[in-house]
Amino acid sequence: MLECKNLTCVREQRVLFDNLSFTLSPGEILHVEGPNGVGKTSLFRLLVGLSSPYAGDIYWLQNNISTVRESYYQHLLYLGHKSGLKPELTAIENLQYFQSLHNPNVELDVWETLTLVGLAGYETIPVAQLSAGQQRRVALARMWFSDCPLWILDEPFTAIDKSGVKVIENLLVKHAENNGMVIISTHQDLNVPDTLYKRLMLEKPIAEAFYV
C-alpha cells in the first residue's frame, strides 16, 4: 500500500501542489491528470524517491520510503519520460540488463516478450535505429515480465499507436486484478473498469498566492 501524507512540491521557488494526500491500495489504478506544467512528473519523481518533497512524507507498507529505499525499489517499476534504454545496445540486451538489475528473480524469455510487444524481427537491431514508437515499446516491454506490485508510469502512451494502447490498458487491468497497483499519467481517457479506477486531478494554483 502506498500512502502520501501532506505532500508539498516546490520547483524554482514556486509551489506546484501542496497538502496532497492520497492512498493507493492493491487492485487500484490511479490516473493522474492535469494540464501541462502542473507537476505530474514532479509528483512521480517524489513517489519514486528521485527527488525529496519540500514537506510531507511518502509511505510504502507503513515505512517512509527514504528509510527503506532498497526494499521499496524491489516492489517498484518506474517508467519515466526518458526511456532508460541504451541506444547502442539491442532490444534483447536492454531487456536482459533491466531484468538483471531490477527483477533478478524473474525468468525472462526475451523473444516471447518482444513478440508480445510487437517487435518480433527487431531483436538484434540497436535501439537507436528503431522508431520512436518502437523504442517506447521496448521500454514498456518491462511491464510484461516485471514481478513488482507497484507500477508508476509517466506518460507511457507517448508515440504508441491505438492498438498498442489497448494492449497496455488490458495489461494494466490484469495487473490490478492480480492485486497490483498502478499510478499512470496520460492525457488520453483510460478504458478500465470503474471498480479499479481512481482519479487524481491536479489543478494549477493561482500564481501570485503560491510563491514561497
Q: Can you give the binding site for other proteins, defined by CB under 8 A? A: 45, 48-52, 70-71, 73-74, 76, 78, 80-89, 93, 96-98, 100-102, 104, 126
Residue 28 near residue 176 (C-beta atoms within 8 A):
yes
DSSP letter assigned to residue 38? S
| Residue with Cβ nearer other proteins (17 or 190) | 17
Smallest distance from other proteins to CB 199, Å? 25
Neighbouring residues of 174: CB distance < 8 A, sequence distance ≥ 6:
none
| Residue with Cβ nearer other proteins (53 or 190) | 53
Strand residue runs (E) in 41-180 = 55-60, 63-64, 76-79, 150-154
Residue the block writes with cell 498502478:
182
Smallest distance from other proteins to CB 60, Å? 13
For 39, the grid coordinates are 507537476
Neighbouring residues of 88: CB distance < 8 A, sequence distance ≥ 6:
126, 127, 128
Smallest distance from other proteins to CB 10, Å? 12
Smallest distance from other proteins to CB 208, Å? 27
| Residue with Cβ nearer other proteins (93 or 123) | 93
Smallest distance from other proteins to CB 166, Å? 26
- Reduced to 3 states, what is the DSSP secondary structure of residue 190? coil
User: Roughly what angle, to the nearest 10 degrees, separates helices 132-140 and 91-102?
Assistant: 30
Smallest distance from other proteins to CB 193, Å? 29
For 154, the grid coordinates are 509517466
> 83 — phi, psi (to 5°)?
-70, -30
| Residue with Cβ nearer other proteins (76 or 168) | 76
| Residue with Cβ nearer other proteins (109 or 147) | 147
| Residue with Cβ nearer other proteins (106 or 170) | 106
